[in-house]
Chains A and B, each alone.
Chain A
Amino acid sequence: MQVQTHVDIHSEWGIVAARQAGRKLAREIGFGSVDQARITTAISELARNIYLYANKGQIQIEEVTSSGKRGVKIIAVDEGPGIKDLRRVMEDGFTTSGGLGAGLPGVKRLMDDFNIDSELDAGTSITAIKWLR
């Protein structure tokens, strides 16, 4: 049983749609309110990054199971400018847009598994998973 949602991000309303979809799935799987808030916040960060830096992209949200564990997987894909220095974006306080610079390192802390792939001028793909305990 795979539940998958796909949200296109091309305006700020896409961010709202993505996190509502994420909250719904997290609730269905049985996450508590704190983890629901973590998952929605992570989706919000990733979706906002797409909107801010790449203008458009997609958020996919799906249920995953692995060795008896259930979880939520978020995949954020865009074809934007890419990230120049992957190590620096994972540092707290590093920002190119005047924001707080807490987005990506924050998502990594909010979720359990975190993986980022990026190629300059080709796009970025981020996968993050939160497991149900």
Chain B
Amino acid sequence: MNPFISDIILEHKEEIMENWLVEIKKFRSDDLLQNISDSMYENTNREFVNKLIHSVQKEKEDEDFQDDLIQFSERLIQLGWPLNYITRGLQEFRKITVESLSDKGENYCKSIEFFQEIEDWTDDIVNLLVNQYSGSWENTVFLQKMALKELSAPLIPVFENISVMPLIGTIDTERARLIMENLLDGVIEHRSQVVLIDITGVPVVDTMVAHHIIQASEAVRLVGAKCILVGIRPEIAQTIVNLGIDLGKFPTKSTLKKGIESALEMTKRQIIEIKE
């Protein structure tokens, strides 16, 4: 930054800081800031404005200073402060700086270069902090996607030649593909003859979900195994009938227990009670 301008800012820093702290207090009513304690709010405000004033003396490329700002923003992110606080805080800061300096009535404060210099300075800080925030969000979304994928669709061998695939949650195209892959790989790997697909945990069975299940079972049939659909809740049964989906080719059972019984029957086995 132009040393001339930074000198002026530093000269008036007390005034800028005081004005800013008054303005930022007005944000307090914001819903997202309600659950932050007063002293915490006060301290963070002071720290924030100190860093801003401090940045005037630093070069843009100063790494120590950037690291310092990044650490500050990381702490805010962890504590769950809204991004809104930072962007509004900085907008307010720019406004106050320009206002309080142009009040001085001296000519240099009216020149366009002066404003541009201040804009550049605050814009850099905004960019840095917003990048930090959006980076942390992208990271969260990515992690959640991975977590969702992990609990996708396991094929569990329960008896010899009998496997179960419990489906839980919404089935989108991505998951439907995974289901199909896991199903076919698992059938080959475990040498399953009967596969039970359990849809107790699927909230909505629309035509697409039904279509994917029908396709999966057709593919299972092609590799030489049989599919039984289990866990059809009464309301799901009614919507399937209303939609006019034909599951006639498909053996279905209401519960996993009944499904396993008939799977054992199909592989010529049964569970019996042992008499003493």
Contact = CB atoms under 8 A, between A and B. Distances in A.
A16 B206 CA distance: 12
Interface in A30-46: 33-34, 36-38, 40-41, 44-45
Given A41-B204, A100-B211, A109-B243, A36 B173 contact: no
A117 interface: no
Given A92-B244, A109-B244, A110-B242, A100 B207 contact: yes
A48 B244 CA distance: 17
Interface in A69-109: 92, 99-100, 102-103, 105-106, 109
Contact of A44 (B204, B234, B244): B204
Contacts, number: 66
Interface string A2-37: 000000000010011001000000000000011011
Interface in B155-208: 170, 172-174, 203-208
Interface string B226-268: 0000000011101100111100000000000000000000000
B168 to A, nearest CB: 14
B243 A110 contact: yes
B206 A48 contact: yes
Nearest to B171: A12
Nearest to A44: B206
Interface of B: 170, 172-174, 203-208, 210-211, 214, 234-236, 238-239, 242-245
B170 A106 contact: no
Given A34-B234, A110-B239, A100 B203 contact: no
B207 A102 contact: yes
A44 B239 CA distance: 12
A40 B236 CA distance: 11
Contacts of A99: 207-208, 211
A41 B205 contact: yes
Contacts of A45: 206-207, 243
A37 B207 contact: no
B203 A103 contact: no
A105 B238 contact: no
Nearest to B238: A34
Given A37-B236, A40-B204, A100-B214, 14 more contacts: A12-B172, A37-B238, A37-B239, A40-B203, A41-B239, A45-B206, A45-B243, A48-B206, A99-B207, A99-B208, A99-B211, A102-B244, A103-B206, A103-B243
A15 B203 CA distance: 13
